[in-house]
Structure 1
Amino acid sequence: MAAYPGGVFNRIMQRGLNRYWSGTAKHVRDMELGPLKTRRLQARRLRAHLDEVISVADGQLALPVIGSNSFFIPHGTDWSWRPRLWRESLPQKGMVAVESREPLGEEITLFHDCDHSELTLRQLRNTREKDLAPYGLRMDVFGFDGSFLSLVLDMPEAATEGLSRDHVIRMTTIVEMEKPLEIFARLNIKHGPNTEQIIRELPLNKEDISVEFDLAYTKMNEKQFEKAWIDLIFEGPEMNQVILRDLNFSRRLRAEI
C-alpha cells in the first residue's frame, strides 16, 4: 500500500491551501466575473479529486478490518478462533486444477479422488457491509469425475488444551452457492491410537449457519488428546461455486442440569 508523503512541507502546503480556499469562500460574492470564473474552474477540478478520495476512503474504511477476530461468542466460551484464511491475506491467493492433498495456506487442504481436476480455490476480500470476516474462500467446481470432495481444516493446539467430554464445540459459517448441495461438517479428535468423529449436516436454508459438536457422546480419553481437525464434505458439487464468507469456532462447557 502506497504511503502519502508527509512531513513539514506537506503540513505547510495543506495550511496554505486551507487559507486560500477559506479566503475565497469569504470573498466569493464580491468577486469580479473574470476571477470568479477562474475560481469556479479551480474549485470544480479540486472537487473531482476530493470526491474520488472520499469515495475510495469510504469504501476501504467500510471493509472488515484485516486481522479481525470479531464474531459472536456464546456465554461461557473458553476458546475461540477464526482461521487465518478468513482473517489475513495469504501469500498465495488461489490455485487452479487443484490436486488432492494440495494445501492453500497453512491450515486448509483440499481432498478429492478425481482423475482430472477441474477445481479452483481462491481467497477473496469480503466487501459486504454485514461481513465481519475480512476474507472468504471461493471454490469453483466444473467437471467432477470423483466420488468425494472435502476441505480439511487443521485446528490449532489450543483447541485441545484443557478439552474434556464436558465441552461443546460450535462451528459457525456463512455459505453462498450457485445451486443447492449438501455440506457436512465432521469433527475429528485424535486421542492416542483412536480418532473420535462427530458429523453434522449444515442447515443451508439460511445464510448464517451454526452447528455444535457435543463431546459427551464420544468415548474420548481426555489424557491422550493429540490433535483435532474439521472435514467439510461436499455432496454433488459438480458445476457449482461455493463461497465460505466466514468460518469460526468457539468452545464452552456444557451447562450442568
Structure 2
Amino acid sequence: MALSIRSMLRRQIEQREFSRWRYRAATVEDTRLSLLRRQVLQAQRLRAELDQLIQVADSRLAFPAVGANGFDLPQDTDWRWRPALWRGPLPRPGVTAVTSGEELGEEVKLFHDCAAPEVTLRQMRNHSENDLAPFGLRMEVFGFTGSFLSLAVDLPAEAIAGLRRRHLVRVAAHFDLERPIEIFVRLNIKHGPNTEELVEPLPGSGPESMVEFDLAYSEINEKRIEKAWVDIIFGDPAMNAVALRDLTFSRRPRAEL
C-alpha cells in the first residue's frame, strides 16, 4: 500500500514539473526578460542532464547489448574473434583528417598514400535487430587522390596458436555502402623472414559477406609463424561512406578427404 502511494505521489510530482515547463514554453513570448533569463539558464542546465541521460539510456537499451559477442559459425570452428572496436565503446570514438597509420582502438589502423586525405573514422552504435555486434565503424571519404586505402586489423596471438595449413581462415563482414565499390581482403601471415599474402574479393554487402582462405594453397612454415593481420582494401573510395557494422574472424580445420 505504501509503495502504491509513493508511486502515485511520484507521478503527480513528475506531471506538475512537466506541466510547469510546458506552460513556460507556451508563454515564452510574454515572459518578462529578467524572468526569462533565469528560465533559460535553468533549461540549459536541465537539457545537459537530460542529454546525458538519453545518451546513456540509448546505449543501454539499444540492441544488441554492449558486450554481446554472438557469432554464426560452423560447429567445427576452433577459434573465433571480434575486435574490441565492434564489442564495446572506445575511449576515443572518432578521428578526422586521418593520417596513414592512425589507430582507432588497439587493433585497427588506417593506411593510405594520399597527401591530403579527407577521411573520417567514427565508432557508431548498432541498433538493428539484425546486428550481432553492439558497435560498428563508419568511414567517410570525401577528397582522396591516393592509390590505396585500407583498414589493417592485427589478429591476436590465439589466432596463430596451433595454426596449420589444413586450416580455413574466415573473415566475415556486415557493411553498408553509400555507393558500390570493390573491397578486397588480404590475409598476411609472417613466418620467419617471409610473409605470406592471400587476397580474396569480399562479395556484396549486408550481413552475409564472407571470404575463406584455404591455407593448403599457401607456403607458410607452420613452425615459424610469428604474427598475422588482415587488410581490408577499398577500391576507388572517394566520395563514399562505408558503415562496417560487424567484422569477425574465425578458423576451422578442413574436412579430411
- TM-score (ref. length: structure 1): 0.79
Gaps of 5+ in 1: 1-14, 23-40
In structure 2, what is the equivalent of residue 240 of structure 1?
240
Aligned partners of 1:175 and 1:208 also within 8 Å: no
**Residue equivalent to 1:18:** 4
Alpha carbons of 1:205 and 1:119: their partners in 2 closer, same or farther (altered >3 Å)? closer
Q: Shift of the alpha carbon at 1:106?
A: 0.7
**Which position in structure 2 is the counterpart of 1:115?**
115
SS at match of 1:67: coil
Deviations 1:42-78 (A, max 9, x none): 49939x8xxxx9xx97984342121222111211111
Q: Which runs of 5+ in 2 are unaligned?
A: 19-52
| Structure 2 CA distance for partners of 1:20 and 1:80, relative to 1, 3 Å | closer
Partner SS for 2:124? strand
1:177 is the counterpart of 2:170: no
Q: Distance in 1 between matches of 2:237 and 2:65?
A: 31
Asked if the contact 1:169–1:213 (Cα under 8 Å) also holds between the matched residues in 2, the reply is yes
Report the aligned-residue RMSD: 2.8
Task: Indicate conservation of the 8 Å contact 2:95/2:120, yes or no.
Answer: yes
Change in CA separation of 1:220 and 1:44 when aligned onto 2, cut-off 3 Å: closer
Partner of 2:231: 231
Shift of 1:207: 4.1
CA gap of 1:112–1:20, structure 2 versus 1, over 3 A, is closer
Q: 2:131 is matched by which residue type in structure 1?
A: D
Aligned residues: 224
Deviation at 1:21, TM superposition (A): 6.8
Mapped contact 1:62–1:129 kept (Cα < 8 A): no
d(CA) in 1 for partners of 2:82, 2:13? 47
Deviation sequence 1:79-130 (CA, Å, 0-9, x none): 1000000001110101000000111111011101111020000001111122
* Equivalences for residues 110-189 of structure 1 within 5 A: 110-189=110-189
- Residue 92 in 1 paired to residue 77 in 2? no
Please give the secondary structure, in 2, of the residue aligned with 1:77: coil
In 1: Cα distance, 2:192 partner to 2:137 partner = 33
Structure 1 pair 214/101, CA: closer, same or farther in 2 (3 Å)? same
Aligned partners of 1:248, 1:207: CA distance in 2, in Å? Answer: 11
**Aligned-partner Cα distance in 1 for 2:177–2:137:** 12
Give the Cα separation in 2 of the matches to 1:96 and 1:215: 37
Task: State the alpha-carbon separation in 1 of the partners of residues 250 and 116 from structure 2.
Answer: 37
